[in-house]
Structure 1
Amino acid sequence: MNISKECYLCIYKQIFNITKKFNLDDKKASKVLREGAKILSKYDIDVVPPLIAAEEYRKIEKILGIDDLFYKEKKLSIKEALKFKPYLKEKLKISKDKLFDACKVAVGGNVIDFGVHHEFNLEEEIKKIFDIEFKKNDYNEFKQKLVKANTLCYLADNAGENIFDEILIEVIKEFNKNIKIYYVVRGKPIINDVTIKDLEGLEIWNLAEVIDSGVDSPGFLLNKANKTSKEIFYNSDIVISKGMGNFECLYEEANREVFYFYKVKCEVVARKSNAEVGDYMLFKGDR
């Protein structure tokens, strides 16, 4: 999904927010903003937004001497998400369609995002999570394919959101006891996207094979993916792509069937999705 004019402003706003987050003085903030503008000026509209974001954040890390700009936020997001896990699992026990409701849980968790939104209310999202109505809903086809699948590639998104992924993955393994699941994460810290380091001590290690994608962008860019993750992506029977960043990288580019699970958080993705900001999506994309 190529960038639109709004993407330039969105990325630059993210850079500005970094200067506020770290309370940079005018001199250091000026350097960050000027370098950010230089990078933005290099790109025409024939690239995907996460490609630009990756270069921007790498430059900021170099200027500030910080390898993981959102380390604290990621730790806090996971801690907060874990508080809701027992409640959600109990609710699923009485669900009439456990797999469908677990999909809702996973997509609802996509509200956690420090790239597009620095403010979100996870507790409010949890309250309405089982009442989610998908703007696009290919759940029945997803379920049919899941019955026969031997392998599933699950492209992860944000830290904290991974706890909701665990819930869906556990239900998937109940639904199809023989399925092999690969949980594919970012190769380097980028915004609040989840990495292997962020998953230390969590249940996901007992549910799936965790894969370092090698990708340093906030989305699964195929030309940045390592050989292992790319093979898993193309050879798995089913692919779940979580979040807008993965959607932006893969939609109309994947050259395979992908099930996209995400919440629409910006006008550009809304237009591409034929949806509105705030809509929830569970749809199959073909290429």
Structure 2
Amino acid sequence: MKVYYECAPCFLRQAREALDLACDNENLKIEIMEEIAALLGKEFNKEAVSNEIGTTIHRLIKEKTGNEDPYYEIKGNCNEIAVNFLPQLTEFLQGEEKLEMFIKAAIVGNIIDFGALGVDLEPLDLMMEALHEPLEVNHTKELEKSLKSVKSVLYLADNTGEIVFDKLLINKLKEYAVDVTVALKEKPILNDACLEDAYQVGLDKIAKLVTTGTDSVGVIHSQVSPEFQKMMDEAELIISKGLGNYEGLTEIKFGEKPVFCLLNAKCGPTSRDIGVAQGSNVMVKLS
């Protein structure tokens, strides 16, 4: 996805929050923000890809501060939020058979996003509201058709906390007799889920776990490992979670391969790119 004009102040807001999490050195923060401002002045244009710029900014902050995981404590908060909400979600799904309901449950977890919505996010009320909202774009029937014609699914995970709810959907997907491989980040960035986070919630018990080989925001085809590039290129069906993955996947040509993005359109640019109101739940087929 190409940037929209309001992506620029969002990058600066994220940079400020990440810097405050990463270090207490005010002089260093000024130096790093100078670099980020210069970066945006040089790279921000209508052809720039949003998750590529975001990746560069967060990598710069990690490198310059020496803090490889500024969002470490926040990721713990994400897991706590998910655990607290899980009983309500389990009750909501009690007796449900429709794939659409499990998709909605997985999308609700996507609201636990401190990158898009800020570090002061209190998502529980938003999650409950979203659970009872319709899917504004609903390509569930197309997904069901695809699931019946493939043997394997590549599932691109997004945030910590959120992966607790992904387990519910992945178990449902396996009823279609498909093998599921879940891709996570090789190294920390924002509050994205890494391999160790997936082990902590038991994802390895229901799916094969791999990493993208890098720490990019979402997927950037040219930056993931050669092994993961091959995995994406050869995947029969891709299911993706979250804004960052949507931003990256829309820049990749997949041909006839079915690619489905599940997300809450939390920001104005993403909602306009998809063509829905901000805050909408969507399950959209890209190809």
User: TM-score scaled to structure 2, two decimals?
Assistant: 0.92
Which string of whole-angstrom CA distances, capped at 9 and with x for unpartnered residues, describes residues 102-123 of structure 1? Answer: 1000011110112111233332
What corresponds to 2:186 in structure 1? 187
What corresponds to 1:92 in structure 2? 93
1: CA distance, partners of 2:277 / 2:214: 29
1: CA distance, partners of 2:100 / 2:260: 14
Which string of whole-angstrom CA distances, capped at 9 and with x for unpartnered residues, describes residues 22-71 of structure 1? Answer: 57354222112112112222313323111111121121112221111101
**Identity across aligned pairs (percent)?**
27
What corresponds to 1:60 in structure 2? 61
Written as runs of structure 1 = structure 2, the 5 A alignment for 1:122-271 is 122-173=123-174, 175-176=175-176, 178-255=177-254, 256-271=257-272
Structure 2 CA distance for partners of 1:62 and 1:275, relative to 1, 3 Å: same
- Pick which of 130-139 and 76-85 moved more: 76-85
Which string of whole-angstrom CA distances, capped at 9 and with x for unpartnered residues, describes residues 108-151 of structure 1? Answer: 11101121112333322443344221111111111121123200
Structure 2 CA distance for partners of 1:75 and 1:109, relative to 1, 3 Å: same
The letter of the residue matching 2:248 is: C
1: CA distance, partners of 2:146 / 2:81: 33
Written as runs of structure 1 = structure 2, the 5 A alignment for 1:37-56 is 37-43=37-43, 44-56=45-57
Structure 2 CA distance for partners of 1:4 and 1:91, relative to 1, 3 Å: closer
2: CA distance, partners of 1:169 / 1:200: 15
2: CA distance, partners of 1:130 / 1:271: 22
Which string of whole-angstrom CA distances, capped at 9 and with x for unpartnered residues, describes residues 170-217 of structure 1? Answer: 1111x22x3110101112211111111222332200111111111321
Q: Which secondary structure state, in structure 2, belongs to the residue aligned with residue 67 of structure 1?
A: coil
2: CA distance, partners of 1:32 / 1:252: 29
CA contact (8 A) 1:50 1:249 kept: yes
Q: Which secondary structure state, in structure 2, belongs to the residue aligned with residue 29 of structure 1?
A: helix
Gaps of 5+ in 1: none
1: CA distance, partners of 2:137 / 2:215: 29
2: CA distance, partners of 1:71 / 1:21: 9
**Does residue 105 of the first structure (1) align with residue 105 of the second (2)?**
yes
2: CA distance, partners of 1:153 / 1:235: 10
What corresponds to 1:76 in structure 2? 77
CA contact (8 A) 1:155 1:246 kept: yes
Q: Which secondary structure state, in structure 2, belongs to the residue aligned with residue 281 of structure 1?
A: strand
What corresponds to 1:12 in structure 2? 12
- Pick which of 76-85 and 259-268 moved more: 76-85
The letter of the residue matching 1:123 is: L
Number of aligned pairs? 283
Structure 2 CA distance for partners of 1:129 and 1:278, relative to 1, 3 Å: closer
**Does residue 278 of the first structure (1) align with residue 279 of the second (2)?**
yes
The letter of the residue matching 1:222 is: H
CA contact (8 A) 2:18 2:58 kept: no
1: CA distance, partners of 2:190 / 2:149: 36
What corresponds to 2:36 in structure 1? 36
Gaps of 5+ in 2: none
Q: Which secondary structure state, in structure 2, belongs to the residue aligned with residue 283 of structure 1?
A: strand
When the two chains are superposed, the root-mean-square deviation of aligned CA atoms in Å is 1.8
Q: Give 1:155 deviation, angstroms.
A: 0.6
1: CA distance, partners of 2:90 / 2:149: 25
Structure 2 CA distance for partners of 1:125 and 1:207, relative to 1, 3 Å: farther
User: TM-score scaled to structure 1, two decimals?
Assistant: 0.92
2: CA distance, partners of 1:102 / 1:155: 16
1: CA distance, partners of 2:76 / 2:108: 19
Q: Which secondary structure state, in structure 1, belongs to the residue aligned with residue 117 of structure 2?
A: coil
Q: Give 1:218 deviation, angstroms.
A: 0.9
